């Protein structure tokens, strides 16, 4: 199923009047405050977030999984799903593949399909947390950090293969999420595990094409419940430095201990030129992988405030790779992703409204009350008309969820794929 521009155009018509009224009002109001509204809308339009291939089917927990109907059963269908998202939101213009779940059979056809959907291939992701059928070595006790050289070599070889697949698709980065760790005190010699990991990453890094980047994730726990080899940004940063200038830290919002000040980590990494990538989701307890912005939208805004600051003030940091990494346990995955994309753009738009000049002055004068006012003035603004306009300008839907439903997308997918089609992957 593909959504045609005309369908969206036609669907938008019924709400266009209300939109224009509210947009004009907001634009006037922002204009009076000195905001360059066109610049904001352009920034919003330019902002593209990658969708991971594994996020298009229903997710689950260790207690089970409730399937969704009409899930994409192969890579082609996954690309089509992202195409639908992008047609509606105009902000999901990339797909991020997980290997070995999504190895293309016909690279040319896959690339053409992506292009037809307006998509590029973002970072490729390796998987050394599960054993593949017929694998010689098991990752039960770790991969890049394993005490066994044979296991480490297999994991390194896999990453190198992932890079090769990515090259054929036009990807420019490899994301390594290392599940390695230990479940019990004593299981790991922390230093040996860290040394093995550094050595393994350096071997992978050595094969990285000249114009690629290596993203190193960190996470404090899960699936290991006593220790994780790359437990925090400090460890990831240390490893990235040990690899070289093409290696970066990747921040996943859910990968932090309770109460962590994530926006400060983001700020520090950008200052050091080492923030390579970003995974969006939300959480109340652990790595819940909930819809972006569904639990802590103000924290997301504060993070975007640092991202905007860094993008404007830290030329030493490359433009980060954006991706949604959420799990869709009970919602229609596509609707869930639309809500996430909306929340990301909302936070970004509000961050763009922060008066950085005034904020700097208030900070210098220690006018803490005013500092807070400045952030809250931006945050309290209803920016939905800006998001609508940004979509409208490039052919997207005024109200993506409404359009998704009125166009009967899920029903069409079920008809095309069958009710019990199941997404490959986890």
Contact between 288 and a copy of itself per CB under 8 A: yes
Contact between 63 and a copy of itself per CB under 8 A: yes
Contact between 6 and a copy of itself per CB under 8 A: no
Site for a copy of itself in 254-283 (CB under 8 A): 257-261, 263-264, 267-268, 270-272, 283
Q: Which of 190, 316, 415, 418 binds a copy of itself (CB under 8 A)?
A: 190
Interacting span for a copy of itself (CB under 8 A) from 72-80, 90-98, 116-124, 365-373 = 365-373
Using CA atoms, how far apart are residues 377 and 4, in angstroms rounded to an integer? 38
Return the number of the residue (207 or 358) whose C-beta is nearest a copy of itself.
358
Contact between 147 and a copy of itself per CB under 8 A: yes
Contact between 188 and a copy of itself per CB under 8 A: yes
Q: How far is the CB of 398 from a copy of itself (least distance, A)?
A: 14
- Looking at the DSSP assignment, which residues form a beta bridge with residue 120? 94
Return the number of the residue (115 or 261) whose C-beta is nearest a copy of itself.
261
Contact between 316 and a copy of itself per CB under 8 A: no
Q: Which of 13, 108, 149, 366 binds a copy of itself (CB under 8 A)?
A: 366
Contact between 115 and a copy of itself per CB under 8 A: no
Q: Which value, to the nearest 10 degrees, does the dihedral of the CA atoms of residues 304, 310, 312, 313 take?
A: 150
Return the number of the residue (108 or 149) whose C-beta is nearest a copy of itself.
149
Q: Which of 359, 392, 407, 423 binds a copy of itself (CB under 8 A)?
A: 359
Contact between 210 and a copy of itself per CB under 8 A: no
**Token code pair at residue 409:** 């997308």
Q: Which of 12, 291, 345, 424 binds a copy of itself (CB under 8 A)?
A: 291
């Amino acid at each position: 199923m593909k959504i045609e521009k005309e369908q969206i155009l036609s669907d938008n018509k019924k709400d266009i009047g209300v939109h224009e009224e509210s947009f004009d009002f907001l634009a006037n109001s922002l204009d009076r405050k000195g905001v360059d509204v066109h610049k904001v809308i352009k920034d919003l339009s330019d902002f593209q977030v990658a969708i991971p291939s594994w996020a298009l089917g229903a997710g689950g927990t260790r207690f089970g999984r409730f399937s969704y109907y009409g899930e994409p059963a192969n890579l082609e269908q996954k690309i089509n799903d992202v195409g639908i998202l992008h047609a509606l939101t105009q902000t999901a213009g990339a797909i991020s593949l997980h290997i070995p779940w999504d190895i293309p059979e016909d690279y040319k056809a896959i690339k053409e399909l992506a292009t037809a959907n307006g998509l590029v291939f973002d970072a490729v992701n390796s998987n050394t947390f599960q054993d593949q059928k017929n694998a010689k070595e098991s990752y039960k006790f770790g991969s890049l950090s394993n005490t066994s050289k044979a296991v480490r070599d297999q994991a390194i070889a896999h990453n190198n293969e992932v890079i090769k697949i990515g090259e054929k698709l036009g990807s420019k980065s490899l994301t390594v999420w290392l599940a390695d760790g230990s479940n019990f005190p004593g299981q790991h010699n922390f230093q040996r595990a860290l040394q093995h990991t550094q050595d393994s990453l350096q071997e992978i890094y050595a094969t990285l094409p000249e114009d690629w980047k290596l993203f190193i994730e960190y996470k404090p726990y899960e699936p290991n419940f006593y220790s994780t080899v790359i437990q925090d940004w400090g460890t990831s940063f240390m490893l990235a430095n040990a690899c070289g200038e093409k290696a970066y830290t990747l921040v996943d919002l859910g990968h932090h201990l309770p109460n962590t000040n994530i926006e400060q980590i983001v700020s520090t990494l950008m200052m050091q030129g080492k923030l390579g990538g970003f995974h969006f989701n939300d959480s109340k307890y652990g790595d819940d992988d909930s819809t972006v912005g569904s639990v802590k939208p103000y924290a997301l805004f504060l993070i975007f405030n640092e991202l905007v600051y860094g993008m404007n003030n830290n030329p030493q940091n490359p433009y980060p790779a954006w991706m949604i990494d959420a799990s869709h346990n009970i919602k229609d995955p596509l609707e869930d992703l639309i809500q996430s994309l909306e929340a990301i753009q909302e936070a970004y738009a509000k961050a763009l409204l922060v008066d950085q000049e005034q904020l700097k002055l208030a900070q210098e004068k220690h006018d803490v009350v005013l500092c807070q006012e400045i952030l809250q003035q931006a945050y309290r603004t209803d920016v939905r008309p800006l998001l609508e306009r940004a979509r409208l300008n490039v052919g997207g839907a005024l109200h993506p969820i409404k359009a998704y439903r009125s166009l009967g997308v899920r029903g069409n997918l079920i008809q095309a794929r069958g009710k019990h089609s199941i997404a490959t992957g986890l």
